[in-house]
Amino acid sequence: MKSRKIAKRIGRAGQMAREKALASGQALKGPRGWIVVGTLAAYATLGTSQPALAAIGGKAEPGAVGTAATLPLKRFDIAAGPLDGAIAEYEKITGIKVKVVLPSGTLAGFTTQGVHGLYREDEAMQMLLKDTGLNYRTEDATTIAVGVQASDTVSVTASAADSVSMDKFTEPLLETPQSINVVPNFVLQDQGVSTLRDTLRNVPGISLAAGESGAQGDNLTIRGFTARNDIFLDGIRDFGSYYRDAFNYEQVDVLEGPSGVQFGRGSTGGVINQESKVPGASQFVHVDTQFGTDLNRRLTLDANTPLYPEMGGTAFRVNMMGQESGVAGRDGAEIRRFGLAPSVSVGLDDKTHATLSYEHLTADDTPDYGLPWQFNHLSGANRHSYFGFADENYLKTNDDILTLKVQHDFRPGLNIHTTARGANYPRQVQITESQICSNASQSVPVGTVVSALPTLAYNSTIACPYDANTPASEIGVVNRNQIQVKSVETDLWDQTEIAADFKIHGIRNDLVAGVEGGQETSNPIRYSYSQPYTSSSGATGTINSVPYTTLLDPNEAQPFSGNGYISSVVHTKADSTGIYFVDTMKLGHLFELSGGARWDYFNADYHVYTPVVPTSSAPAAFVSLSRLDKQPTYRAAFVYKPSSHGSVYFDWGTSFDPDAESLSLSAGLVNGNVKPEENETYEGGAKWSFLNERLMMEGAVFRTEKDNAHETDPTNSNDIVAAGNQLVKGVQLSVVGRLPEGMDLVAGYAYLDSDVIYSQFFPAAVGYPLANVPKQTFNLFVTHRLPWRLDGGLGGNYVGGRTASSTVPYVPTSYAPNPNGAGYIVTSVAMKQVPGYWIFNAMLKRSLGEKFDFQVNVNNLLNRYYIDLPHPSHLIPGAGANAQFGLNFKF
């Protein structure tokens, strides 16, 4: 009886397989066809959890399922025809070995519809095998097997990222003469990363900083120079003041070194590009849930489905995110965010294809500006102290970004593409910044006579009664400076590029030329709670109308009070245009020579209204100014390729930073005639790949010098000159890999030597390091397959000590009366810096079948107390030890 049931199951499975082949026009004729059908029927009968493996003789690899979304896009141009020839072309494009597990000669009976366009490796293989009755399975890191299978497709093992999505880069990363660090999606998944800020901890040469008073959100430096306005989203500047979430990231690209030709203004140390997830040909649904300490709850959804095959390849994808959590070790701080990112692509199989995407991100956080400085070091405040008003502090952003990209391929190697964007970035902010004494306006050497002692930050008519050694228990006055802003930034932009390869006198050229332009606006309304004040002795100054608190016992539940007023109403509009090209010439198989140029037009109009300050006799004021900059930038590079697996290069480039670069700082435009900062970078390096591009390594030495650095006179904030010079030189190494046995690796090291080499207003700063530039940084995270279907990960970060200011690197710490007259003599000084730190993180993941896995991430394992985000006026500690537990679903 049992044998007859098995026979019937074999017969039904065989009939279904043959009908499928016949329906697709690929009838399996003769003995070979019946061999294939019999193979399928036999393994369909087994009903095991891994029928595909059995059918092609593969070996199970835990964790191999579900990696499709992390694979990089590659361009395929494989014509319809015999399948064996198409597979050979696929091997050339991807570097993956395809092993055919069929009787000898069987493959010659199959044909394919081909594949054309940008696809992941797994998507391209699916399209090649469409309607053939065949399928594939990963065998190891560099090999897949094709055969007759009775299960759904399992994705090809992902390689280390070897490309970026921006068409302005025509060469693979291995041959691109620039330090480019790609943080792929699998790294974000392993580490449980949820923000851009945490993503960038995997990149050497980047250091993070606290938000500024006028602009909140992600703030950082790249190779020693501020990059707050050098953040891009799919190749277009994303300058909104908000904290970016990683829920819609395919990967994050960090391009360090010369970038001015491709990206325009700014980009002194480099740029950051966020690559969004886009629709593809495969269907999947991923749901990730995360719960943890500090009341963390996070849910993300990533769903993709192909639509309407008759329309030439249409697909829809949606990503969603919701999160609520506290911050470990920081009482009062809370995170509440929601994100939605739908996108649709049409014409995936056609020469003309387009993607329309929309991203909405809402945040309603209780922000944290941390702890106060005590002259040159962190005060003795409790690590958990929150100096704000938990019920009155807020950071509300409501960002909307709509992007349309259209591309037409005239032929392989020739296309034109345009990207249009409209973005709106509203924000409302009220944040409390704790302060003890007023900041030193400049560094003064020992023996210098100063006219007055530091004053209380709360009341500038009172000399500060504390010094650098005052115990925390004796500091009874801590100012609560209120940063209150209501603003809307907007961006309307278009970028059109043509990419072409051609030959001139037998020399192949890869050219990208483009034109871009648009309008950016910023409209901040700022508030103040500082009132003019005259002391009983007749001294004049300001006093904060918000009540002060104490260092050891701040009361976050205290009702907020204070007399606030509008201090300024600003409208800044910048019209920009950029024209550029980059050409790469292939001088045989060993050498490449590239060069490019750009011309930028940047016209900024600035208007500020200053109302009457209550209790002051000063009249209202209105200032309207404009600044026009027309600036060229250049780039040149040489590449030597001693092997198909590596390259050695030299790169040179320039960039510039105009007065109104950020559209948020008004002081730089008050005199209206400050010329742009000019930057020049030299870089030499090498890149190498191993294990068929599964392991990518690169290293570089570099030198960047900034001329005409803008400086503000410490005695007159309206007097700004372009008279400073700054220098950063260093070494950088990085490794990213997806290795056999489930081993993933990301590591990096950077050594940065930064100096102020000339300063008109701050000569005492010459020879000291730039702000927020650690001498050394190191990052490492390794995951590996373990017994019992487990994957484990372990890693850490080291960040060296950092100064808080480039112009005031050290401050006076003690004084004595001047015996020769008025004033005080500085008797000691100290560096104003935060110490370096190590932190360690761990991960453990357990597969619960093909569709589920359970993951635990523990961050800051040793519960280190460290300053993560420094600022000249406040210090934000890093999160304490915390654990996140996730259950992930893949359908």
Give the pLDDT mean for 881-890.
94
Enter the tokens of residue 290.
Answer: 């995360």
Whole-number percent of the chain with pLDDT over 70: 87
Tens digit of each residue's pLDDT (9 = 90 or more) over 728-774: 999 999 999 888 777 899 999 999 999 999 999 999 999 999 999 99
- 3-state SS of 705-742 is EEEEEEEEECCEEEEEEEEEEEEEEEEEEEEEEEECCC
Lowest mean pLDDT: which of 22-26, 86-90, 445-449, 666-670? 22-26
Other CB atoms within a 10 A radius of the CB of residue 649 amount to 23
Question: Which pLDDT score is estimated for 309?
Answer: 67
User: Region 520-530: what's the mean pLDDT?
Assistant: 95
d(CA 508, CA 504): 7
233 compared with 311, residue with greater pLDDT: 233
Residue 208 pLDDT = 93
DSSP 763: G
CA distance 254 to 634: 20
Nearest Cα neighbor of 620 from 663, 672, 565 is 565
Q: Which CATH class is domain 2-147?
A: alpha beta
pLDDT at 718 over 80: no
Cross-strand bridge partners of residue 585: 509, 593
Q: Among 519, 548, 544, which residue's Cα sits nearest to residue 533?
A: 544
**Model confidence band, residue 39 (pLDDT cutoffs 50, 70, 90):** very low
pLDDT at position 55: 33
The most confident of the ranges 126-135, 356-365, 846-855 is 356-365
Please state whether beta strands 716-739 and 743-758 pair in parallel, antiparallel, or not at all (unpaired): antiparallel
Question: Per residue in 173-217, pLDDT tens?
Answer: 889 999 999 998 889 999 999 999 999 999 999 999 987 766 788
pLDDT-derived band at 5, boundaries 50, 70, 90: very low
pLDDT tens, position by position, 800-814? 999 999 999 999 999
* Mean pLDDT taken over the chain: 86
Q: What is the pLDDT of residue 698?
A: 95
Q: Which of 405-409, 470-474, 570-574, 665-669 has the lowest mean pLDDT?
A: 665-669
Residue 30 in this model has a pLDDT that exceeds 80: no
CA dist., res. 77 & res. 79, Å (int): 6
Answer for the pair 578, 516: CB distance below 8 angstroms, yes or no: yes
- Looking at the chain, the domain(s) classified CATH 2.40.170.20 span 273-486+502-663+678-890
Summarised one tens digit per residue, pLDDT across range 562-576 is: 999 999 999 999 999
The pLDDT, as a whole number, for residue 432 is 96
Could you give the dihedral angle defined by the CA atoms of residues 496, 502, 508 and 509, in that order, rounded to the nearest 10 degrees? -20
Smallest Cα–Cα separation from 567: which of 620, 507, 604? Answer: 620
Pick the CATH number of 273-486+502-663+678-890 from 2.40.170.20, 3.30.70.3190, 1.10.10.10, 3.20.20.190: 2.40.170.20
Residue 183 amino acid letter: V
User: pTM to 2 decimals?
Assistant: 0.83
End-to-end CA distance of the chain: 36
| Cα separation, 536 vs 506, whole angstroms | 86
What residues does CATH 3.55.50.30 cover in the chain?
A: 2-147
Q: How many CA atoms lie within 13 A of 467 on its CB side?
A: 12
Phi and psi (nearest 5°) for 538? Answer: 95, 0
Q: Amino acid letter at 699?
A: G
Contact (Cβ atoms closer than 8 angstroms) between residue 688 and residue 640: no
Would you state the pLDDT for residue 665? Answer: 52
> What percent of the chain is predicted at pLDDT more than 90?
64
Q: What is the mean pLDDT of residues 274-301?
A: 94
Q: What is the average pLDDT across 125-150?
A: 73
pLDDT at 107: 66
Of the pLDDT bands very low, low, confident and very high (cuts 50, 70, 90), residue 140 is: low
Give the closest residue to 356 by CA, choosing from 285, 424, 419. 419
